Chains A and B, each alone.
Chain A
Amino acid sequence: MHETLSRRLGFIGLILISLAGLIVYRLVSLQFEIDTAYFAETALTEYTYKVTSRPPRGEIYDRNGLLLATNAIEYEIGISPVLIYDREGTAEKLSEIMGLPLEELEEAMASPQQYVLLERNAPATVGQKILELDLDGVVVTPTPRRYYPHGTLCSHVIGFVAMDDIGYYGIEGYYNNILQGEVEVDDQSRIPFEATGGQGWRSGSDLYLTIDSEIQYLAETTLADALVEHGAQSGTIIVLQPQTGEILAMASLPTFDPNQFTTTDASLFENPAINKQYEPGSVFKVVTMALALEEGVVEPDSTYNDTDMLEVAGVEIRNWDRQGHGVMTMTDLLAKSLNVGAATLSLRIGPIDFYQGLDDFMLGERTGIDLEGEITGMIRRPGNENWFESDLATNSFGQGLAITPLQMITAVGAVANDGLLMQPHMVTRRIDPDGETSDSEPWVLGRAISAETASDLTRMLSTALRQESSDALVEGYAIAGKTGTSEIPIPGGYDPEKTIASFVGYGPIDNPQFVVLIKLDKPTSSRWGSQTAAPVFSQFVSRLVVLMEIPPDSVRGSLASGQ
């Protein structure tokens, strides 16, 4: 037996040693055969992971330095049960600080899991107390959160920052990259003891808005009262500084609290001042008159014969009172808000010059304001499939076209600013983290009308208001303005009852400091802008001049003459 065994053992040994040789060959050849680059890549992607370091987001202030948006720290608090040696002591301390029942904590500590989350959004005070105790196995992770100290104030302008740390709507959305700073994505190693990438981020810049919080607050409260008083569903107030294009206030209701954006109806996030089209109605006659004067088809003291009906390409144009008013001056036309008159003007101007004129006012286009979510208007022109000759007539009094409230006030602002169209904007100053400050300069978009036309029109608008003893008049201040009552398009025509009442005015007329747009949607106290939006304008401006420290005309006149 031994003989066979020896022989066969030798044979097996030979086989084994050859197999071992093959394995050694394989081990060596492996080094030369493989695609080293591929496996290097595979290994690297496994060894490292991306860490996004988010620098502190820039803060947002109003023009006077009032803090509107800032960063708060919350803490995520959790435990790694296996790392806790003094379970009772730890549970007692945590229970005391966090106000959690002791049983819950003990249960968490008995968990076999590596990490047990106790609270996701603990307030800063709680988190810091626990951090100071430096307890073994207790993990406190700071989580930054955007905080808006004034809640709903200015929320449509500011927007909000969502869970993904990206800003949405308004300033937060438009300036997201600037506010966010440089988000650095680092490669971090999963290998213990190995150094990881650096943390070279740059924090975000702070922004100062053109908004004056006091005017904004006044606008919001005035609007809220107006909605109640006139039974309107919603509304907008915009205050523009005509010489600079700065928006001093932009308020719309209903609004939302950006601190609670998660529980807010998403339709409220959109800013109606830049995001909702409406037919401007008679306010648009300001533009039509401006173009008529600019084109020279009429003079300020021209007259025309107002009839009860004007037929244009088969469409009947009638006045609001369905009456003909006879021979009327241009100022009468504005004062009585005569549609027949406006249509007469636009027909005389002619389609080419009329629509070219609207372009000069940049109506229907985005104003380019630095807010996220601005939309264009909708103005049909000759050559468009849907444009009819009658549109030239109806457009003249703001029907058959749709623009945003901001486009309307920007155009009127040009009239208030000697015919120069200013870029409306929201940010007045930017401070970079390195302390570098850049101020925004007023920016002329173009000339809409001549200075002469502008001053003529201002005088006419002012006279017209006084002539009608409008509710918009403000005691002690000469203002110019125009009411508007626009019908609301519904499928197949216009809503028979509901209207949008608006008023756009500016003053003081000798040196306009503000342009104010008041817009009330579907008021129930009256359908007319002259009875709803106009008195709100008066009410608002009488307080606005106080906030803006604009002395009454008489005082300014005596100051001027005194010099």
Chain B
Amino acid sequence: MTAVSQPTQPDDSSPVAAPAPTLFDFDVYLLLIVAALVAFGLLMVYSTTFDWSYLEYGSPVRIFLNQLRSLGIGIVGLVIAWRFDYRILRDRRVALGIMIVTIIALGTLLILNQNTAFGAQRSFYQGSIQPGEAAKLAVIIYFAAWLASRQDQLQKIGYGLIPFAILLGLVVGLIVLQPDLSTAAIIMLTAWTLFFLAGANIFQIVLAAGGAVFVGWTVSTQFDYARDRLIAHIAAMQDLKQASWHVQQAIIAFTAPGTRAGGTFSPNWFGVGLGQSRQKFGFLPAAHTDSIFAIIGEELGLFGNLVVITLFVLFVWRAFVIARNAQEPFGALLAAGIGVWVAYEAMLNVAVMTAVIPFTGVPLPFISYGGSHLVTVLGAVGLLMSISRRRSPRQKQVTDIGRERTDRPRTGRMDRVGRSGRIEY
């Protein structure tokens, strides 16, 4: 909390914005939220892996240590992204370079990789590196840069929509071919949101959404596994007993106290206790990765689930605040893009686990086991921190004062300012 007491904060009464470089000149709340999510994730990863880690490798911490190593790499990435000026990414050559590397990686993966775990090729080095994870961030960086540099021309339909659709189609197409429909869907959704945020008109937005839904439907019905899941989901919507095995296992986890008490109903407020899950012992598939939210529900109940959801809401809120306070459009779009990406991914994960949408494997950001994912998302947090260091120095000149003021009390830094009595509605 030393951050908020820094004397170098810009004051509304003073037009001079001269942030002196200090260590805590970024959005500290964001880091605290992320720290909470990551710590919670580590706890749950250990809880869900110690048993099979012991059976498989003879050591209960082997898998946990893997995750710690990923966390170490992620922290390095975070620090680098934080200390560097994110604006170098705005440079068209850099952004394009990142995009090209991503496309090459995805293409190479398609050609070379024979790792067909779960019927999909998603990783290099026997599962060590999944370029699909990094691709999500790369796409956000590239489109943020692309949209920021073209915002005046976005309204022109041909100029705005078509190249956007082509570039997006290339990346998404490569991911769909893996096939990894959930990652493709998240990239599409995030890109569409960025397009909307950057100022595309409603007609373009609806057209893009309609096109995306049409393509998405056509593509997903091309894949047997996607169609099967869709059919299974329609059945499950009517009766959870018809749901897929995986979903049924998740339901058992979410309702653990009742199901354990021999079927007498008992709401799962606080779960069966940390570490006490039964579903994690091989019954719920991917308990430590995609299904970790259900184990949280089993061990810590609705309370645990709500804590996690609240942390995500807070995270997205901080990301949006950073976006709103960003100095220039690229930073704003980048911050917003990262925010919605994490939001979509988290929601998709939870919605799948609670049988709201058809089954698909998506990690729960910050919490699920998985190196590529953790490193990428921590890198993105570093970018958010970097953006938050360079807030707009001319905020008070924003014409819509009222709107600006209502925002201020919500930001960490503005809090102190708010006490000066300037908040009025």
Q: Is the CB of B324 within 8 A of A6?
A: yes
Q: How distant is B234 from chain A, measured CB to nearest CB, in Å?
A: 17
Would you give the shortest CB distance from B169 to chain A, in whole angstroms? 23
- The listed residue (B56, B258, B350) touching A23 by CB distance below 8 A is B350
A110 CB–B CB distance under 8 Å: no
A38 to chain B: closest residue by CB? B241
Interface membership of chain A positions 164-190, coded 1 if the CB is closer than 8 angstroms to chain B and 0 otherwise: 000000000000000000000000001
Q: Which residues of A contact B347 (CB under 8 A)?
A: 16, 19-20, 23
Chain B: minimal CB distance from A49 (Å): 12
* Most chain B beta-carbon contacts within 10 A, residue among A27, A41, A42, A192: A27
Q: Is B356 an interface residue (CB 8 A)?
A: yes
Report B-chain residues with C-beta under 8 Å of the C-beta of A8: 196-197, 199
Which residues of chain B in 184-200 are interfacial with respect to chain A, using CB atoms and an 8 Å cutoff?
Answer: 193, 196-199
CA distance A22 to B281 in the complex (A): 30
Residues of B238-288 whose CB lies within 8 A of A: 240-241, 248, 251-252, 254-255, 258-265, 267-268, 278-279, 281-283
Q: How far is the CB of B154 from chain A (nearest CB, A)?
A: 10
* Size range of the chain B interface in the assembly: 35 or more
Q: In the complex, are the beta carbons of B340 and A30 less than 8 A apart? A: no
Across the interface, B259 reaches (CB within 8 A) one of A3, A13, A36, namely A36
Q: Does B400 contact A (CB under 8 A)?
A: yes
Given contacts A5-B329, A6-B324, A9-B324, contact A31 B197 (CB under 8 A): no
Interface size on A, residues (CB 8 A): 41
Q: Is the CB of B316 within 8 A of A39?
A: no
Tell me whether A34 and B281 are in contact in the complex, defined as CB-CB below 8 angstroms, given that A8-B197, A82-B56 are known contacts: no
Asked if B306 is an interface residue, CB under 8 A from chain A, the answer is: yes
* A4 interface contact, C-beta 8 A: yes
Residue picked from A3, A5, A23, A32, most chain B C-beta under 10 Å = A5
Known: A20-B313, A82-B57, A83-B58. A27 touches B51 (CB 8 A): no
Contacts of B58 in A (CB 8 A): 82-83
Known pairs A8-B197, A16-B343, A20-B347; A3 contacts B263 (CB<8 A) = no
List B contacts of A3 (CB < 8 A). 398-400
The answer, among B51, B56, B255, for a CB contact under 8 Å with A31, is: B255
Decide if A322 is an interface residue (CB 8 Å cutoff).
no
Provide the residues of chain A in CB contact with B260, threshold 8 Å: 40, 43
> Given that A1-B329, A34-B255, A42-B248 are known contacts, is A190 also in contact with B263, CB under 8 Å in the complex?
no
Q: Which of B51, B248, B309 contacts A39 (CB 8 A)?
A: B248
Contact A9 B343 (CB under 8 A): no
Answer whether A40 and B309 are a contact pair too, CB < 8 Å, given A1-B151, A190-B282, A192-B281: no
Does B351 lie within 8 Å of A23, measured CB to CB? yes
* B332 and A40 contacting across the interface, CB-CB below 8 Å: no
Residues of B within 8 A of A42 (CB): 248, 252
Cα A43 to Cα B240 in complex, Å, equals 14
- Closest B-chain residue to A11, C-beta based? B196
Q: How far is A333 from B354 in the complex, measured between Cα atoms in Å?
A: 95
Known: A13-B317, A20-B309. A32 touches B267 (CB 8 A): yes
| Cα-based distance from A8 to B347 in the complex (angstroms) | 20
Is the CB of B320 closer than 8 A to any CB of chain A? Answer: yes
Interface residues of A (CB under 8 A from B): 1-6, 8-9, 12-13, 16-17, 19-20, 22-24, 26-28, 30-43, 46-47, 82-83, 190-192
**B residues within 8 Å of A by Cβ?**
51, 56-58, 151, 193, 196-199, 240-241, 248, 251-252, 254-255, 258-265, 267-268, 278-279, 281-283, 297, 302, 305-306, 309, 312-313, 316-317, 320, 323-324, 329, 332-333, 336, 340, 343, 347, 350-351, 354, 356, 392, 398-400, 403
